[in-house]
Chain A
Amino acid sequence: QKEVEQDPGPLSVPEGAIVSLNCTYSNSAFQYFMWYRQYSRKGPELLMYTYSSGNKEDGRFTAQVDKSSKYISLFIRDSQPSDSATYLCAMRDTNAGKSTFGDGTTLTVKP
């Protein structure tokens, strides 16, 4: 079993929909949680970065961490065609420099 499991998708939604992307993990030592967005044929870019449990909002994006359930989510409100990309979750513990990545969920937002 992988340390980080990400909903595989692919996911296709109409423009304006609310999108929920999810990851579960097994390592209770993880404290830092990241979401990356990767457009086709580009490198991943950091989208959201959160520490421990709780919510963090940035414009149309909300990252949610539930450490008791070992579950993290990324919500996208009013989704746009420009949000079409692969989304990767990542997490690390307090002391390690390495992050563990999910395999990614590919999202398509149709006009």
Chain B
Amino acid sequence: NAGVTQTPKFQVLKTGQSMTLQCAQDMNHNSMYWYRQDPGMGLRLIYYSASEGTTDKGEVPNGYNVSRLNKREFSLRLESAAPSQTSVYFCASSVGEQYFGPGTRLTVT
């Protein structure tokens, strides 16, 4: 039972490049989330998916897109990366309380 897994663990992008962050959970949870965490700013919700086939914007959705591929997988895409998107990205899934993945450290130069 792996819980929530995220790939990659680290990534460096140049401004304007695109990439997709992958997340998968094996707990059969309906809800999944993407957060970013910046120093002194806590966790900020980017997008969430209450169930397979649905997605909704969170607090800071600009510059991001998501896909809920199936019940297990929820991906986050940066179409044209900007330095302001340098952050640590966490995926989570829930039945109420949330369970987090280990994070992806993204640097955009």
Contact = CB atoms under 8 A, between A and B. Distances in A.
Interface string B1-12: 000100000000
Nearest to A45: B100
A104 B103 contact: no
Contact of B102 (A32, A43, A99): A43
A34 B97 contact: yes
A42 interface: yes
B43 interface: yes
Interface size, B (range)? 20 to 34
B9 to A, nearest CB: 10
A72 interface: no
B74 interface: no
B100 A99 contact: no
A101 interface: yes
Interface string A68-106: 000000000000000000001010100001110111100
Contact of A90 (B31, B58, B98, B99): B98
Given A44-B100, A46-B99, A88-B43, A97 B48 contact: yes
A92 B4 CA distance: 21
Contacts of B99: 46
Contacts of B53: none
Interface string A13-56: 00000000000000000001010100001111110010000000
Interface of A: 32, 34, 36, 41-46, 49, 88, 90, 92, 97-99, 101-104
Interface of B: 4, 30-31, 33, 40-43, 45, 48, 50, 58, 90, 94, 96-103
